[in-house]
């Protein structure tokens, strides 16, 4: 795949995250879906992440590629809302993933 296409597609994630941040901080978009999630708070955001996670698992089990893409996109979107809620940005996530490259889980996990 062309590196420029990959870069443009990655930029979509940054663009979506920027929109989430704008909606989180804006008083003008109170009727937007994202604004309503922030207004309803962490419990609502976590509920949506849980719902989308279950739907993603169901799509995976059914094996329909288009449905898997659709549901995982919903899950990723709601995870991005959750990250924004906590003041965590995509760069923070990229740095964490980069830190893990080439390491065994036991060498980067926070659980042990």
* 90-102: pLDDT as tens digits: 999 999 999 999 9
Instruction: Kindly state whether residue 101 falls inside one of the protein's structural domains.
Output: yes
- Per-residue HEC secondary structure of the chain comes to CCHHHHHHHHHHHHHHHHHHHHHHHCCCCCCCHHHHHHHHCHHHHHHHHHHHHHHHHHHHHHCCHHHHHHHHHHHHHHHHHHHHHCCCCHHHHHHHHHHHCCCCHHHCCCCC
Number of domains in the chain: 1
Instruction: Kindly state whether residue 53 falls inside one of the protein's structural domains.
Output: yes
Q: Nearest CA to 20 among 68, 69, 79, 70? A: 79
Instruction: Kindly state whether residue 84 falls inside one of the protein's structural domains.
Output: yes
* 39-63: pLDDT as tens digits: 999 999 999 999 999 999 999 999 9
The residue among 37 and 103 whose pLDDT is bigger is: 37
Q: State which residues form the domain around 71.
A: 3-107
Mean pLDDT of the 28-39 span: 90
Domain holding 40: CATH number? 1.10.287.1080
């Amino acid at each position: 795949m062309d590196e420029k296409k990959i870069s443009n597609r990655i930029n979509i994630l940054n663009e979506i995250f920027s929109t989430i941040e704008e909606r989180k901080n804006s008083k003008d978009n109170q009727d937007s879906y994202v604004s309503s999630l922030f207004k309803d708070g962490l419990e609502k955001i976590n509920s949506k992440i849980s719902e989308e996670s279950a739907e993603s698992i169901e799509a995976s089990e059914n094996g329909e590629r288009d449905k898997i893409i659709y549901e995982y996109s919903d899950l990723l979107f709601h995870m991005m809302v959750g990250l924004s809620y906590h003041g965590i940005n995509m760069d923070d996530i990229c740095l964490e993933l980069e830190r893990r490259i080439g390491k065994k889980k036991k060498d980067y996990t926070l659980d042990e």
